[in-house]
């Protein structure tokens, strides 16, 4: 028989811990993020950030992109996506689809995007060069 319980701050504030729908007791970030960087220097080619780990799912917390001076006048179309292999250019599920002008940056921080179990996280572009970094951590599936 469950017993109702409450975890509160020991410093006298009204702060309380909570449990997510996944059963996570949240009192701060679940884990520290690791950074994964790639240089997307060829068109229509998959570049891999992270791969699957058995029994785990990857959580993306940040996406940092920079289109360098080599990007042409027609911009660069950039896709960040889930894939079935580290070399697949087929987007099983799109995470981010964006156009980038030459010498511009896109920094998406504070994210909480979970990747499907068993999938790789890849990036591709139609104009090079894009410097890309994602940050995140693995959680139990």
- Confidence (pLDDT) at 140: 85
- Confidence (pLDDT) at 121: 98
- Confidence (pLDDT) at 28: 72
Ordered structural domains, the chain, with CATH: 29-140 (2.60.120)
Q: What is the pLDDT along the chain (141 residues), one digit of tens a residue?
A: 778 877 777 777 877 777 766 777 777 777 899 999 999 999 999 999 999 999 999 999 999 999 999 999 899 999 999 999 999 999 999 999 999 999 999 999 999 999 999 999 999 999 989 999 999 999 888
Q: Which residues contact 102 (CB under 8 A, 6 or more apart)?
A: 67, 68, 69, 70, 71, 72, 73, 75, 76
Instruction: Indicate the SS3 state at residue 115.
Output: coil
Instruction: Indicate the SS3 state at residue 89.
Output: coil
- Confidence (pLDDT) at 86: 98
- Confidence (pLDDT) at 12: 78
Burial 72-98 (b: 16+ CB within 10 A, else e): eeebbebbbbbbeeeebeebeeebbeb
- Confidence (pLDDT) at 21: 63
Q: What is the dihedral of CA 96, 124, 135, 119, to 10 degrees?
A: 80
């Amino acid at each position: 028989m469950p017993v109702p319980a409450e975890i509160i701050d020991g410093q006298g504030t009204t702060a309380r811990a909570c449990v997510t729908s996944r059963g996570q007791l949240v009192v701060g970030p679940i884990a520290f993020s690791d950074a994964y960087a790639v240089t997307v220097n060829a068109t229509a080619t998959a570049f891999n950030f992270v791969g699957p780990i058995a029994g785990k799912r990857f959580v993306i917390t940040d996406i940092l992109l920079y289109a360098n001076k080599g990007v042409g006048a027609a911009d660069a179309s950039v896709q960040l996506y889930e894939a079935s292999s580290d070399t697949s250019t087929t987007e099983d599920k799109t995470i981010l689809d964006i156009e980038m002008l030459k010498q511009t940056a896109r920094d998406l921080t504070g994210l909480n995007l979970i990747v499907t179990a068993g999938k790789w996280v890849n990036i591709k572009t139609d104009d090079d060069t894009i410097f890309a970094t994602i940050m995140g951590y693995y959680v139990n599936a």
